[in-house]
Chains A and B, each alone.
Chain A
Amino acid sequence: MKGTVLHVDLTAGTSRIVLHEDIFSGYLGGSAAGTELLFTYGDPRADPLAPESPVVFAIGPFSALYPVATKTAALFKSPLSGELGESHAGGRLAMSLREAGIDALVITGRAENPSYLAVENETAEIKSASTFWGQSATATDRILREAESKTGRKISVIRIGPAGERFSPIACATVDGSRHFGRLGLGAVLGSKNLKAIVVSGTKTLPLAKPKEFKTVYDILYDRVVKSKEMKKYHDLGTAANVGPLSMIRGLPTRNFTQGNFEGAEAISGEQFAKDFLVQHTACAHCQCGCIHLAELREEFAPFHYSTNRVSYDYELIYAMGSMLSLSSPEDIMKLLLVTEKQGWDVISLGCTLAWATESFLRGTLSLEETGGLPLAFGDGAAYLEMLGRMAKGQGEFYRDLEKGCAFCARKYGGDEWAIQYGGVEPGGYMTGENFAITCMMGVRHSHLDDTGYSIDQKLLNADQPLEEQVRAQVKEAQWRMVLNSLMICLFARGVYDEQIILEGLAALGLKWDNSGLQEMAEKSLLRKYEWKALCGFDHKSVKIPEKMYSVQTATGLMGRKSLQKRLRLYRKYAGLKSRHD
């Protein structure tokens, strides 16, 4: 990759191409190169919503070339955690950036008026969004697909909903057909820049340096994606297949992480969704797996009159709006998801915050006075829908606060012990045990996808493993994912892309890498992220878990204070944090 970076300054209203070949040749691309661009263009001490704080979108060398290299990394300073903001999304964005000839898009400044950005082949135009500021994320997509339609060409549309316009730190940015830069508040950062949307398209064709080698690697990957069992789960039931099994082992967070088995799990399982509501699978551009599951929600709005909406679902969405809130009706879950999709909230953060509010109400730290007369109770789908409605309207201080996440709410209203967040970030849906808790604390994005903690926990149910080895495996995976996330391979294809095929794939593109080069890059780029986090004020020695988590049964039993401390010490040691940052 040449490291072609399109830098748009919204304040000045200008754009220019800058070449950062050194960054892309040393760090592959995507997540690692994006972090270096954060260092280059941003100040880690700046306010996340200040005009000068940059947003970086980066793709990798495999993007749009090999199957399932579908992701784009977004890097920014998170308004939710106050440190590293990083989120990945699929859709057609990686394809469009590649065809536009751009390896990364960097946006700084603040537009004077509501605007959107139209990127076409290395050029950017800032256009007025005055007419559709305030529109939902879904309506914005429809509007821009028409306004920016290009004959015979694919376009990608990133946009925020009203939540991002209100600077909600749990606001996401939606990409194409219900794919999201979900976590850590990118929506608010775009909103603070007065930027409603970004449209990307290009006409570049991509000649092959070594067509024969390329096609050989491609066919191996294609067969693994389509014909092997590696991705079958994602294609068939999708991640929703996890609902039943996780509840079975007491790992499905239920009613604000009170227990790991949900009595309504069967009713909201992947099997049930497929049987009653699934209408179609769709795919990100250049992914033959097609894991996007679309359900149809049919509602009678007047006698014999119906509205029909398509809602995309996955495991994390069912956890956040289902078991966490004790909702065992798929329709209730889909109604909440529809509002969430339109407003543009991150569903995980939202579900955890609603669950915190419910527990607070039940414990008496919140009263009808704060909730505006609305009693909160687990299992009350209508009440949750009403809450989202009030949040969308900004109806009362409490509802305006709810969209700031549960850490903020706990600081203001109390209930810190049961506010389920790690470093300010609400976790993914795993109540598997200590390895997952370490992921949430130490993962560079506080994301379940940072390493494989939840999976190590689950394997312990079958065979014990020494604690040191567990932590070592976790750190090793965190480092390896720097490689996958810099090539921008969807993590669902992590079984498809082993080190050997990655090296062959790089060689077929004329890029010279070897095992030790990848390993070195992986270790270094992980540390660079911790370095950026530290400059933001993140202290890896003061991470903690919510107090409530010490008293609940996970899939692997109670979590211990001492063993967590031991794990943290080992994690820092194996990641190489001690020597550099102590």
Chain B
Amino acid sequence: MSIKYLRVINRDQCIGCFSCMYACSRMVRNSAGSGKAALRVKGYAGVEGAFSIRVCARCADPDCAKACPTGALTPAPGGGVRLKKDLCISCGACVKACAISALQWDEEEKQPIPCIFCGQCVKYCPNDVLAMQEIPEKEADQR
């Protein structure tokens, strides 16, 4: 068994088109905008062309889940988190707890958007910025 990780492999090739965010919203959540994406491309005020891409690190012991007061967000097998929607009280503590700002917030449903590591964002990146990397479970455990 191996575990799939979503990685930013060529940050400096990003053109800021947000195609990855649109792909995630569209393919995973049937939403045509970019608002339901589980990753984020950030720009910086006054620095034209500088982008930072924040994707779920698939932590084995996720800070976001630890911050959840109701048990809605729980660690998933192999890392990352799962959301039990009916337990979520929309407090936003999980998003604040993610130091790399990778966990995104659904403004419509007022809930976090956990990444499912399906690789759709990778498929729709025109510049090979993102990649899925598979790491054997044993190695992943030691990380």
Residues of B at the A interface (CB closer than 8 Å) are: 15-19, 22, 25-27, 30-36, 40, 43, 45-46, 48-49, 95, 101, 104-108, 124, 126-127
Distance between A364 CB and nearest chain B CB, rounded to angstroms: 43
Given contacts A64-B33, A205-B36, A208-B30, 17 further A-B contacts (CB under 8 A): A67-B19, A99-B34, A145-B45, A152-B40, A178-B48, A203-B35, A204-B108, A205-B33, A206-B32, A215-B27, A218-B26, A282-B16, A286-B22, A288-B19, A289-B17, A290-B16, A294-B48
CA distance in complex: A98, B18 (Å): 15
Partner of B17, one of A64, A206, A214, A287: A287
Residues of A at the B interface (CB closer than 8 Å) are: 64-65, 67, 95, 98-99, 138, 141-142, 145-146, 149, 152-154, 177-178, 203-208, 211, 214-215, 218, 222, 225-226, 279-290, 292, 294, 310, 312
Query: Given A142-B46, A177-B49, does the pair A290, B104 have CB atoms closer than 8 Å?
Result: no
Which 4 A-B pairs give the minimum distances between C-beta atoms? A145-B45, A290-B15, A203-B107, A283-B17
Q: Are A285 and B17 in contact (CB under 8 A)?
A: yes
Could you say which residues of chain A place their CB within 8 Å of the CB of B32? 64-65, 206-208, 214
CA distance in complex: A292, B14 (Å): 12
Distance between B129 CB and nearest chain A CB, rounded to angstroms: 11
Query: Given A141-B46, A142-B46, A310-B49, does the pair A205, B25 have CB atoms closer than 8 Å?
Result: yes
Q: Are B48 and A284 in contact (CB under 8 A)?
A: no
Q: List 20 A-B contacts (CB under 8 A).
A: A65-B33, A95-B18, A95-B33, A145-B45, A145-B46, A146-B45, A205-B25, A206-B33, A207-B31, A208-B26, A282-B49, A283-B17, A284-B17, A285-B18, A285-B34, A286-B17, A286-B18, A289-B17, A292-B15, A310-B49
Query: Given A218-B26, A281-B15, does the pair A142, B45 have CB atoms closer than 8 Å?
Result: yes
Could you say which residues of chain A place their CB within 8 Å of the CB of B30? 207-208, 211
CA distance in complex: A149, B104 (Å): 16
Q: Are B34 and A152 in contact (CB under 8 A)?
A: no
CA distance in complex: A98, B43 (Å): 20
Partner of B33, one of A98, A145, A211, A281: A98
Q: Are B48 and A310 in contact (CB under 8 A)?
A: yes
CA distance in complex: A65, B34 (Å): 9
Partner of B35, one of A205, A283, A285: A205
Distance between B81 CB and nearest chain A CB, rounded to angstroms: 17
Distance between A561 CB and nearest chain B CB, rounded to angstroms: 47
Could you say which residues of chain B place their CB within 8 Å of the CB of A215? 26-27
Q: Are B15 and A282 in contact (CB under 8 A)?
A: yes
Could you say which residues of chain B place their CB within 8 Å of the CB of A226? 126
Q: Are A290 and B17 in contact (CB under 8 A)?
A: yes
CA distance in complex: A283, B26 (Å): 20
CA distance in complex: A310, B46 (Å): 10
Distance between B49 CB and nearest chain A CB, rounded to angstroms: 4
CA distance in complex: A285, B25 (Å): 15
Q: Are A203 and B108 in contact (CB under 8 A)?
A: yes
Could you say which residues of chain B place their CB within 8 Å of the CB of A138? 46
Could you say which residues of chain A place their CB within 8 Å of the CB of B35? 99, 203-206
Query: Given A152-B40, A206-B32, A294-B48, does the pair A288, B17 have CB atoms closer than 8 Å?
Result: yes
Q: Which residue of B lies closest to A290 (CB)?
A: B15
Q: Which residue of A lies closest to B45 (CB)?
A: A145
Distance between B17 CB and nearest chain A CB, rounded to angstroms: 4
Partner of B124, one of A222, A294, A310: A222
CA distance in complex: A289, B19 (Å): 10
Tell which of A95, A153, A285, A312 has the most Cβ of chain B within 10 Å: A285
Could you say which residues of chain A place their CB within 8 Å of the CB of B45? 141-142, 145-146, 149
CA distance in complex: A225, B107 (Å): 30
Tell which of B16, B46, B101, B124 has the most Cβ of chain A within 10 Å: B16
Q: Which residue of B lies closest to A138 (CB)?
A: B46
Could you say which residues of chain B place their CB within 8 Å of the CB of A290? 15-17, 126-127
Distance between A251 CB and nearest chain B CB, rounded to angstroms: 30
Tell which of A214, A279, A283, A289 has the most Cβ of chain B within 10 Å: A283
Distance between A439 CB and nearest chain B CB, rounded to angstroms: 31
Distance between A116 CB and nearest chain B CB, rounded to angstroms: 16
Could you say which residues of chain A place their CB within 8 Å of the CB of B95? 152
Q: Which residue of A lies closest to B15 (CB)?
A: A290
Could you say which residues of chain A place their CB within 8 Å of the CB of B124? 222, 288
